[in-house]
Amino acid sequence: MFTAVSRIDTPAPFFGGNRLVARRAASYTTGRRVVQVHAVTNVSRNPNMGKLKAGYLFPEINRIKNAHLEKKPDAAIISLGIGDTTEPIPAPIIDGMISSVSGLGTPAGYAKYGGYGPGEGQAELREKIASRFYPGGEVSADEIFVSDGSKCDISRLQMLFGPNRNVAVQDPSYPAYVDSSVMNGHATSFDASTKQYGNITYLSCNSNNNFFPNLAHANDSEIIFFCSPNNPTGAAATREQLTDLVAHAKENGSIIIYDAAYASYIENPDCPKSIFEIPGADECAIETCSFSKYAGFTGLRLGWTVVPENLKFADGFSVKADWNRLMNTTFNGASNVAQAGGLACLSDEGWNAMTELVGFYKENASILKRTFEDMGYTTYGGTNAPYVWVSFDGQDSWEVFTEILEKCDIVVTPGSGFGPAGDGFIRASAFGHRDSILEATERLKKAFTK
Amino acid sequence: MFTAVSRIDTPAPFFGGNRLVARRAASYTTGRRVVQVHAVTNVSRNPNMGKLKAGYLFPEINRIKNAHLEKKPDAAIISLGIGDTTEPIPAPIIDGMISSVSGLGTPAGYAKYGGYGPGEGQAELREKIASRFYPGGEVSADEIFVSDGSKCDISRLQMLFGPNRNVAVQDPSYPAYVDSSVMNGHATSFDASTKQYGNITYLSCNSNNNFFPNLAHANDSEIIFFCSPNNPTGAAATREQLTDLVAHAKENGSIIIYDAAYASYIENPDCPKSIFEIPGADECAIETCSFSKYAGFTGLRLGWTVVPENLKFADGFSVKADWNRLMNTTFNGASNVAQAGGLACLSDEGWNAMTELVGFYKENASILKRTFEDMGYTTYGGTNAPYVWVSFDGQDSWEVFTEILEKCDIVVTPGSGFGPAGDGFIRASAFGHRDSILEATERLKKAFTK
């Protein structure tokens, strides 16, 4: 074996070809040094991975934050960045999980829930999700597939559809839609001038269109990612808008992947909490959802995806049947303890505690929204969503991000991280302790009041 | 919306084409009935999903078992089928998890482990995995990516490499390698006569070659799946065999995906517990591993994958860098409670308890092996692995499976479920309560002694 070489001046020469050929470690000379080169394999890099630019948004932000901390080691950083829950999990839910864990130490408890569970989730949990979140009977338990979270399901959905699809996303939107689309081969390369990947349709959502896109741009899209309440803008789509969306999908034969991860934050009765409240959505939509932002389950990992019985591919084959097959091949069920936690969330006590927790973060959102407005900024979101979308009048959003970090020791998320139409904005997340949120508003007011 | 139609006599007509076209629900006549047809979407089914035959092995077995139970509702079924752990999780590991769950209900505990963890796993756990499982320093903590299990990582590895790869698998082997390869577009269609998918290289492992394949057949393979101790044959590869495997991969520039999920069952000192004990493996191998079969974590979901720093694609790009990017985009970390459980497994007390648990299942394996041999059957495996591979002298293995189920109310796994070279064998799993194992041996002796 060779000693690692941390940095080489010029690319190492290697022998390529379409067929596998014998490969040897080599040494070569750069300047005055003889550099020992690790043998490379003859496996080409997946070109779709090569198309992805920079890091995934949040690790990238973390990197910049850590660099700031190196310069200013005693900075008391407040994060309004990644939407990461901060409050302890309420007692009735903790109790449910403790009793599940204790059970796993006993023969009876282990026999019930210890081994491999059904790939699609425990029957009792699926029933409870159906009755709690779809009280109108729009969704039945066997259309619910329990998972380790929406982000994971989104990339499994990409596997389901396979490469080279026409995909549309809201712009701005949660980066996982675009990144997983690129990884899965739907996109051509990134265009530095438009800041878009080729062959992905970006549906601009902005204050001029009330954050609901012109769907005509998606006429050719096989798959439309749609998130409501939207991450990052906080916009919750109305019943009328979603009716248009469903009509559009049915008219064009598209499938909507509807991300409802923040649905419990909706308070406006005109905004449905599920796409399946819209008649016909069961023939054109899949819905992903999550316990992460409802009960502080970001680290526990529990979500679900609804694939309706009535959703069919063009040849009439059941999408749900393929999804079931895929889940059984690529996944082995959500953690049994997380599922016990989910079940505890859906008891009356758990449900009330969860509602209270959501209310707490909503109050944070309202404090942040009011602060920015008092400071003279135009804001969106923050009422039906845990995110406040703040306009910085067209300023480069990574510059605004850096300025806020440097002046206030506050991490926000630059709007352009969610797509080119997000430039000029920052997203402030309401996930934080109340005292941090209040301290953040003080620092912001001091440094950024117009 | 239309009323669901459970069964239609003829395929529904639909309008297709290369471009998306307007789609409408339709009605048509079959016999005397007018059938209301659900609107299908215009999204074509992923042809790779269409290539997969039947169900995934274990759900398929479950279906047959349930049919048996319908005929014979009071059958006291014993499962020697799926490798699913049955014994409670040992106390020191339960205690670790209870203290983690309790912590999530407190501000301090939640601040430490409550929110999103690092996508690659908690630093402390990665360190402990490195020192416990790779005590020779073969693997460093930052090459370890903690996950929700090997099966899930295998399909994420497929995403990493992308479609259309030349893949080789041991025959027989764990079905997820082939199924995920088909789903990912490496294979052409299934050939009913050879019982193989086209374009996948099946490396026959049988008693004639001592269960180690002729690697010359894999000269063109970019990716070689290799499992040791093997599931289902129980064969553990020797140091010499693995040295050949690594030499072969380096010679041909292949990447080995080495599944070490049963490594802790190895007792033969000539059989390495990790591919990274072989010099040079860090330049040609990825290793997947799991807590499932060590500590009864099948339902908790915790595993890890080692991607070495020195592993490079043909262009010199780091495989680990792409894996890190992929994990951050498609995964959000293993459940924090499962990670706390993993950490508890690696304390001295936890390690001893885990070793004892592995010993218990190994004793089961030894009982099963002895029984079949006393009955006059030739067996393999069962000493360095929790699986006993029993020869039924060329009989169709689904027939043997059905006969054992009908005569003994015992579920085993038909060998051909693991690949065509598995026909003529059944796999008996040692995961069971001791009294079930003993009862199973009595039933088998009565019905099947030669």
pLDDT for position B348: 98
Q: Among B101, B254, B433, whose Cβ lies nearest the Cβ of A98?
A: B101
**Domain boundary residue, one of A333, A349, A365:** A349
Q: If pLDDT is split at 50, 70 and 90, which confidence band does B38 have?
A: low
Q: Closest Cα partner for A49 from B144, B147, B317, B151?
A: B317
Question: Exposure of B346 by Cβ count < 10 A (0-12 exposed, 13-18 middle, 19+ buried)?
Answer: buried
Mean of the per-residue pLDDT values for chain B? Answer: 92
Q: If pLDDT is split at 50, 70 and 90, which confidence band does A57 have?
A: confident
Q: If pLDDT is split at 50, 70 and 90, which confidence band does B4 have?
A: very low
Q: In this complex, do A41 and B115 lie within 8 Å of one another by their Cβ atoms?
A: no
Q: How far does the CA of residue B32 sit from the closest CA of chain A (Å)?
A: 22
pLDDT score of B21 more than 50:
no
Angle, helix B150-161 to helix B175-183, in steps of 10 degrees: 30
Q: In this complex, do B38 and A254 lie within 8 Å of one another by their Cβ atoms?
A: no
Amino acid of residue A128: K
Average pLDDT over residues B429-449: 97
Q: Note whether B333 and B423 are same-domain residues.
A: no
Q: Note whether B78 and B225 are same-domain residues.
A: no
Q: What is the chain B residue with the closest CA to A323?
A: B49
Least confident of A107-111, A209-213, A433-437, B58-62: B58-62
pLDDT by residue (tens digit) across B270-301?
Answer: 999 999 999 999 999 999 999 999 999 999 99
Between the alpha carbon of residue B59 and those of residues A165, B130, B411, the distances in Å are 30, 34, 13
pLDDT score of A176 more than 80:
yes
Q: Note whether A180 and A62 are same-domain residues.
A: no
Report how far residue B450's alpha carbon sits from residue B446's, in angstroms, rounded to the nearest whole number: 10
Which residues of chain A neighbour B300 with C-beta distances below 8 Å?
104, 335-337
Q: Among A50, A111, A325, whose Cβ lies nearest the Cβ of B55?
A: A325
pLDDT for position B286: 98
Average pLDDT over residues A40-59: 88
Report how far residue B253's alpha carbon sits from residue B20's, in angstroms, rounded to the nearest whole number: 43
For testing contact with chain A, the best of B18, B28, B40 (most A CBs within 10 A): B40
Q: Which DSSP symbol is given to B316?
A: S
pLDDT by residue (tens digit) across B94-125?
Answer: 999 999 999 999 999 999 999 999 999 999 99
Average pLDDT over residues B70-89: 95
Q: How many domains does chain A have?
A: 3
Phi (first) and psi of residue B414, to 5 degrees: -70, 130
Q: In this complex, do B183 and A20 lie within 8 Å of one another by their Cβ atoms?
A: no
Q: In this complex, do B337 and A97 lie within 8 Å of one another by their Cβ atoms?
A: yes
List all residues 6 or more positions away from B128 whose beta carbon is below 8 Å from its beta carbon: B342, B343, B346
Q: Is B328 helix (H, G, I), strand (E, B) or coil?
A: helix
For testing contact with chain A, the best of B309, B335, B339, B435 (most A CBs within 10 A): B335
Task: Give the β-pairing of B200-204 and B144-147.
Answer: unpaired
pLDDT by residue (tens digit) across A136-167?
Answer: 999 999 999 999 999 999 999 999 999 999 99
Report how far residue A421's alpha carbon sits from residue A442's, in angstroms, rounded to the nearest whole number: 29
Q: Note whether A65 and A199 are same-domain residues.
A: no
Angle, helix A348-374 to helix A336-345, in steps of 10 degrees: 80
pLDDT for position A172: 98
Average pLDDT over residues B53-62: 77
Mean of the per-residue pLDDT values for chain A? Answer: 92
Q: Closest Cα partner for B338 from B114, B100, B137?
A: B100
List beta partners, residue A171.
A204
Q: Note whether B76 and B224 are same-domain residues.
A: no
Which residue range is the domain that position A370 belongs to?
Answer: 50-88+351-448
Exposure b/e, B363-386, CB count within 10 A at least 16 = b: ebbebbbebbeebebebbbbbbbb
Q: In this complex, do A282 and B162 lie within 8 Å of one another by their Cβ atoms?
A: no
Q: What is the chain A residue with the closest CA to B167?
A: A43
Q: Note whether B212 and B323 are same-domain residues.
A: yes
Between the alpha carbon of residue B21 and those of residues A244, A285, B14, the distances in Å are 17, 18, 11
pLDDT by residue (tens digit) across A71-89?
Answer: 999 999 999 998 899 999 9
The distance of Cα A115 from the centroid of its chain, to the nearest Å, equals 29
Beta-carbon count within 10 A of B156 CB: 24
Q: Closest Cα partner for B427 from B293, B234, B171?
A: B234
Phi (first) and psi of residue B321, to 5 degrees: -65, -45
Q: If pLDDT is split at 50, 70 and 90, which confidence band does B383 have?
A: very high
Q: How far does the CA of residue B378 sit from the closest CA of chain A (Å)?
A: 30
pLDDT by residue (tens digit) across B123-168?
Answer: 999 999 999 999 999 999 999 999 999 999 999 999 999 999 999 9
Q: How far does the CA of residue A365 sit from the closest CA of chain B (Å)?
A: 19
Which residues of chain B neighbour A316 with C-beta distances below 8 Å?
11-12, 14, 40
Q: Note whether B38 and B55 are same-domain residues.
A: no
Q: How far does the CA of residue B102 sit from the closest CA of chain A (Å)?
A: 7
Q: What is the chain B residue with the closest CA to A309?
A: B4
Report how far residue A174's alpha carbon sits from residue A225's, in angstroms, rounded to the nearest whole number: 10
Report how far residue A149's alpha carbon sits from residue B136's, in angstroms, rounded to the nearest whole number: 36
Q: Among A40, A221, A334, whose Cβ lies nearest the Cβ of B312?
A: A40
Handedness of CA B408, B85, B159, B246 (dihedral sign): negative
pLDDT for position B6: 34
Length of chain A: 450
Q: Is B409 helix (H, G, I), strand (E, B) or coil?
A: coil
pLDDT for position A72: 96
Q: In this complex, do A315 and B14 lie within 8 Å of one another by their Cβ atoms?
A: yes
Average pLDDT over residues B325-330: 93
Which residues of chain B neighbour A253 with C-beta distances below 8 Å?
20-23, 40-43
Q: Among A148, A183, A312, whose Cβ lies nearest the Cβ of B326?
A: A183
Which residues of chain A neighbour B311 with C-beta distances below 8 Å?
41
pLDDT by residue (tens digit) across A267-322?
Answer: 999 999 999 999 999 999 999 999 999 999 999 999 999 999 999 999 999 999 99
CATH code of the domain in which A100 resides: 3.40.640.10
List all residues 6 or more positions away from A103 whose beta carbon is below 8 Å from its beta carbon: A109, A110, A112, A113, A114
Q: What is the 3-state secondary structure (H, E, C) of chain A?
A: CCCCCCCCCCCCCCCCCCCCCCCCCEEEEECCEEEEECCCCCCCCCHHHHHCCCCCHHHHHHHHHHHHHHHCCCCCCEECCCCCCCCCCCHHHHHHHHHHHHHHCCHHHHHHHCCCCCCCCCHHHHHHHHHHHCCCCCCCHHHEEEECCHHHHHHHHHHHHCCCCCEEEEECCCHHHHHHHHHCCCCCCEECCCCEECCEEEEECCHHHCCCCCHHHHCCCCEEEEECCCCCCCCCCCHHHHHHHHHHHHHHCCEEEEECCCHHHCCCCCCCCCHHHCCCHHHCEEEEEECHHHHCCCCCCCEEEECCCCCECCCCCEHHHHHHHHHHHHCCCCCHHHHHHHHHHCCHHHHHHHHHHHHHHHHHHHHHHHHHHHCCCCEEECCCCCEEEEECCCCCHHHHHHHHHHHHCEECEEHHHHCHHHCCEEEEECCCCHHHHHHHHHHHHHHHCC
Check residues B59 and A397 and name the one with the higher pLDDT. A397
Q: Among A20, A56, A249, whose Cβ lies nearest the Cβ of B325?
A: A56
Q: In this complex, do A300 and B337 lie within 8 Å of one another by their Cβ atoms?
A: yes
For testing contact with chain A, the best of B95, B159, B297 (most A CBs within 10 A): B159
Q: Note whether B84 and B210 are same-domain residues.
A: no
pLDDT for position B39: 83
Percent of chain B clearing pLDDT 70 (strictly above): 91
For testing contact with chain A, the best of B18, B19, B49, B322 (most A CBs within 10 A): B49
CATH code of the domain in which A375 resides: 3.90.1150.10
pLDDT by residue (tens digit) across A349-375?
Answer: 999 999 999 999 999 999 999 999 999
pLDDT for position A73: 96
Which residues of chain B neighbour A163 with C-beta distances below 8 Å?
163, 185
Length of chain B: 450
Q: Note whether A123 and A259 are same-domain residues.
A: yes
List all residues 6 or more positions away from A433 whose beta carbon is below 8 Å from its beta carbon: A86, A87, B107
Q: In this complex, do A329 and B183 lie within 8 Å of one another by their Cβ atoms?
A: yes
Q: How far does the CA of residue B96 sit from the closest CA of chain A (Å)?
A: 10
pLDDT score of B36 more than 60:
no
Q: Note whether B156 and B292 are same-domain residues.
A: yes
For testing contact with chain B, the best of A138, A317, A332, A360 (most B CBs within 10 A): A332
pLDDT for position B397: 96
CA angle centred on B330, ends B324 and B334, rounded to 5°: 80
**Domain boundary residue, one of B348, B369, B404:** B348
Cβ–Cβ under 8 Å, residues B295 and B328: no
Q: How far does the CA of residue A97 sit from the closest CA of chain B (Å)?
A: 7
Q: Closest Cα partner for B224 from A152, A335, A20, A125?
A: A20
Q: Note whether A123 and A256 are same-domain residues.
A: yes
Q: Among A39, A159, A301, whose Cβ lies nearest the Cβ of B183?
A: A159
Q: If pLDDT is split at 50, 70 and 90, which confidence band does B53 have?
A: confident
Which residues of chain A neighbour B180 with C-beta distances below 8 Å?
329-330
Radius of gyration of chain A (CA): 24
Q: In this complex, do A282 and B336 lie within 8 Å of one another by their Cβ atoms?
A: no
pLDDT for position A23: 44
pLDDT score of A135 more than 70:
yes
pLDDT for position A359: 98
Q: How far does the CA of residue A81 sit from the closest CA of chain B (Å)?
A: 13
Cβ–Cβ under 8 Å, residues A215 and A203: yes
Check residues A14 and A193 and name the one with the higher pLDDT. A193
Helices (H), B3-82: 47-51, 57-71
Cβ–Cβ under 8 Å, residues A37 and A28: yes
List beta partners, residue B227.
B259
pLDDT for position B412: 97
Which residues of chain B neighbour A283 with C-beta distances below 8 Å?
1, 25, 38-39, 41
Q: Note whether A130 and A268 are same-domain residues.
A: yes
List all residues 6 or more positions away from B190 whose beta carbon is below 8 Å from its beta carbon: B51, B53, B196, B197, B198
A-B Cβ pairs (cutoff 8 Å, strict):
381
